[in-house]
A and B are shown apart, each in its own frame.
Chain A
């Protein structure tokens, strides 16, 4: 158990809808990362937060947004959903934003858009 909690585990919704994925980092970790894994694709970095502030942005669509709250949990909001947004969304956390801290991954949220 990595100590990173993601909810829900599974989400099925229709095109055009909006969903929120939630992540609680490991106790003491200040940095949260969101990744997307689509079918047969590797990990695609979406966005990183450190202690409540956005630190880095990857290939995140404008329809997607995220935030990190004062208690350090993070939410990823996906709106105007399309079939292609179906994927496994991982959250990971690290103690700091230093490059020598390993990422600790949650179990992911599997999103299915029908």
Chain B
């Protein structure tokens, strides 16, 4: 059974601090790893799609790394701001047909 795990489940971070969290996925039959940000009362928004081992992507203060051999990805947020408060989801295609297995998410709360 394929499983995607995210940790921690929730995280309280002081405004201005940097933080990171983890997505673990099966290291065999790797296709891609997706990261999404889901703000309350909105819809999920794609952050990154990562496909290559050692890949590193950046979008403003948010970046992500990928290790396909050991099956994990880190999402980093530098200098957290209140608008970063959201649930961050990772998802893993279970096959080449794109059926995604979703993690339960890391809920990030930025304290002013």
Give A contacts to B, CB under 8 Å: 2, 31, 42-43, 45, 48, 55-56, 58, 90, 92, 94, 97-108
Contact = CB atoms under 8 A, between A and B. Distances in A.
A100 B51 contact: yes
A13 to B, nearest CB: 22
A91 to B, nearest CB: 9
B13 interface: no
B34 A102 contact: yes
Contacts of B34: 102-103
Interface in B10-57: 31-32, 34, 36, 42-46, 49, 51
Nearest to A102: B46
Interface string B89-112: 100010011111011110000000
Given A98-B98, A105-B43, A105-B45, 6 more contacts: A2-B43, A31-B98, A55-B97, A99-B97, A100-B51, A107-B42
Q: Is the interface of A mostly helix, strand, loop or mixed?
A: loop
11 contacts: A42-B89, A42-B104, A45-B100, A56-B97, A99-B31, A99-B32, A102-B46, A103-B34, A103-B100, A105-B44, A107-B42
A90 B51 CA distance: 25
Contacts, number: 58
Q: Is the interface of B mostly helix, strand, loop or mixed?
A: loop
Contacts of A103: 34, 36, 44, 46, 100
> Looking at chain B, what size class is its interface with the partner chain?
20 to 34
A92 B89 CA distance: 15
Contact of B45 (A2, A31, A100): A2
B46 A104 contact: yes
Contacts of A94: 98
A90 B36 CA distance: 14
B58 to A, nearest CB: 16
B98 A99 contact: yes
Contacts of B96: 98-99
A27 to B, nearest CB: 17
B98 A106 contact: no
Contacts of A105: 43-45
